[in-house]
């Protein structure tokens, strides 16, 4: 534990009463919860197993006024080497239920897009095929309006159930929000703007032949495996697509293919990815990202905006 020791005893007891002692992890290495596989430890990681537990845990953190960080698959995060202070609420296997009713699929925040798409395919429901290879949870995908190969969450999302933060020091509330009210755009949403926490989401899909759906998914997988360094730890596309350009081509044209800082490297397979070649430190990844941004700006006058989010202390 860090600077919250005396006060945290009450908070930890309250959280343990909600999620059980095995649902509260102390000084938990965040490299085990991010696809970059770097970063220090979080003071506390909490694993709720239901919406009710998640809401109670979020309210406890809100009342404590300790820092709150919500993490899904950690596929777009770079956690600092000094870790995360306060409380991390983790939505993964602990909250990953998926149910199919007619042409609608409802999933808890911790369900992976991959599993969501596979469940839909098995039910003969189409719409998620371009998204299934994105290594995000449902909560994270809704937060950033994840997309790939011409498809995006906004195309298939019907509504989200969210925890809405209250005033400082007060509990939040739960609300169902229709997709039309989420202001979904390129890598942005009302969820991110208002620091809402996704608890679950409902997707409206279209009936189709299960074999045709699986065939489309296999083709998208082949394209990803062919062009992206999926065999290496990373946070996916490191930069957002600048208007009128492709980030990977700008980086390649800047002569940065294979550029390194420590064990962090610009992928030689796809320059839009910064990868961990083994034992990378967060500060090295961050330094390489900033170097790439500076060089592309210097050479082409284009600002590359990070898609990867920096979390914690560096």
Q: In this predicted model, what pLDDT tens digit does every residue of 97-146 receive, in sequence order?
A: 999 999 999 999 999 999 999 999 999 999 999 998 899 999 999 999 99
Which residue numbers in the chain have pLDDT < 70? 1-7
Structure tokens that stand for 153 in this block? 């969450």
- Length of the chain, please? 314
How confident is the model at residue 1, as a pLDDT? Answer: 42
Q: How many helices (H) and strands (E) does the chain have?
A: 9, 18
Measure the CA–CA gap between 115 and 107, rounded to whole angstroms.
10
> 245 is written with which tokens?
């350009």
Q: Name all contacts of 292-300 with Cβ < 8 Å and 24+ positions apart.
A: 292/238, 292/239, 292/251, 292/254, 292/256, 292/259, 292/266, 293/239, 295/254, 295/255, 295/256, 296/250, 296/251, 296/254, 296/256, 299/253, 299/254, 300/250, 300/253, 300/254
pLDDT digits (tens, 9 = 90+) for 177-186: 999 999 999 8
Q: Quote the pLDDT of residue 269.
A: 96
pTM recorded for the entire structure: 0.92
Q: What is the pLDDT of residue 260?
A: 98
Residues 6 or more apart whose Cβ sits within 8 Å of residue 187: 144, 145, 240, 307
Q: Domains of the chain, with CATH numbers?
A: 5-93 (3.30.43.10), 96-227 (3.30.465.10), 247-311 (3.90.78.10)
- The span from the CA of 43 to the CA of 50, in Å, is 22
Residues carrying an active site annotation? 187, 237, 307
């Amino acid at each position: 534990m860090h600077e919250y020791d005396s006060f945290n005893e009450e908070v930890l007891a309250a959280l343990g009463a909600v999620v059980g002692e095995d649902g509260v992890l102390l000084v938990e290495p965040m490299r085990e919860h991010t696809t970059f596989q770097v970063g220090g430890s979080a003071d506390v990681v909490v694993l709720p197993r239901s919406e009710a537990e998640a809401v109670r845990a979020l309210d406890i953190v809100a009342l404590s006024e300790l820092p709150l960080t919500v993490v899904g698959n950690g596929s777009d995060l770079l956690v600092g080497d000094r870790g995360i202070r306060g409380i991390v609420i983790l939505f993964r296997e602990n909250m990953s239920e998926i149910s199919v009713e007619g042409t609608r699929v409802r999933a808890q925040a911790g369900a992976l897009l991959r599993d969501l798409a596979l469940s839909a395919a098995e039910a003969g429901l189409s719409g998620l095929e371009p998204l299934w290879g994105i290594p995000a949870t449902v909560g994270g995908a809704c937060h950033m309006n994840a997309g790939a190969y011409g498809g995006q969450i906004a195309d298939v999302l019907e509504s989200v159930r969210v925890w809405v933060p209250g005033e400082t020091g007060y509990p939040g509330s739960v609300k169902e929000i229709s997709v039309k009210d989420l202001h979904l755009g390129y890598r942005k949403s009302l969820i991110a703007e208002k620091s809402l926490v996704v608890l679950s989401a409902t997707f409206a899909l279209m009936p189709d032949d299960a074999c045709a759906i699986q065939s489309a998914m296999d083709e998208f997988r082949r394209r990803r495996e062919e062009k992206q360094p999926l065999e290496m730890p990373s946070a996916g596309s490191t930069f957002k697509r600048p208007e009128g350009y492709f980030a990977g081509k700008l980086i390649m044209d800047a002569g940065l293919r294979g550029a390194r800082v420590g064990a962090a490297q610009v992928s030689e397979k796809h320059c839009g990815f910064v990868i961990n070649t083994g034992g990378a430190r967060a500060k090295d990844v961050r330094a390489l990202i900033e170097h790439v941004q500076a060089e592309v700006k210097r050479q082409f006058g284009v600002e590359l905006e990070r898609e990867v989010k920096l979390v914690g202390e560096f």
